[in-house]
Amino acid sequence: MQTYGVIGAIVVLGLLGLLGAFALNKALTITYSTPDKLKTYESGVDPVGEGWAQVHIRYYLFAYLYVIFAVDAVYLFPWATVFASVGVASLIEMFVFLAFVTVGLLYAYRKGVLSWT
């Protein structure tokens, strides 16, 4: 139980330090609220019109392609480093995974997303 007490004391001291830092920041910060500071501002452009805009479906397909390649890299590189120790079952599973990735790429190709390459 003594070890848990030490851990609890460290957690409490850490939280007190965090809250103290936030309180010190709040106490030392000087703010002047003006209408210009309270206005919404994003990417260097003043807001005009409504805050809702339609996005072309092509951008969702680009995101889909990114996910395909990111997931592919996340699983293939570590798998390739330990391939010798995991066996034949892992090889079969990786081919199933690559089949799914290929289906995703074929879908993107048929939708015309890859026409810019």
pLDDT value, residue 4 = 92
**pLDDT tens for residues 80-95?**
888 778 888 888 888 8
Q: Which two tokens stand for residue 89?
A: 């079952």
Let me know: does 114 contact 68? Beta carbons within 8 Å: no
pLDDT value, residue 102 = 87
**Whole-number Å distance between alpha carbons of 76 and 115:** 26
pLDDT value, residue 14 = 97
* pLDDT < 50 positions in the chain: 117
pLDDT value, residue 98 = 86
**Whole-number Å distance between alpha carbons of 104 and 98:** 10
Q: What one-letter code names the amino acid at 25? A: N
Q: What one-letter code names the amino acid at 37? A: K
**Whole-number Å distance between alpha carbons of 85 and 80:** 10
First to last CA, the chain: 63
pLDDT value, residue 84 = 78
Q: What are phi and psi of 56, to 5 degrees?
A: -65, 140
pLDDT value, residue 51 = 67
pLDDT value, residue 114 = 74
- Residue 107 DSSP class: H
pLDDT value, residue 25 = 95
pTM of the model: 0.43
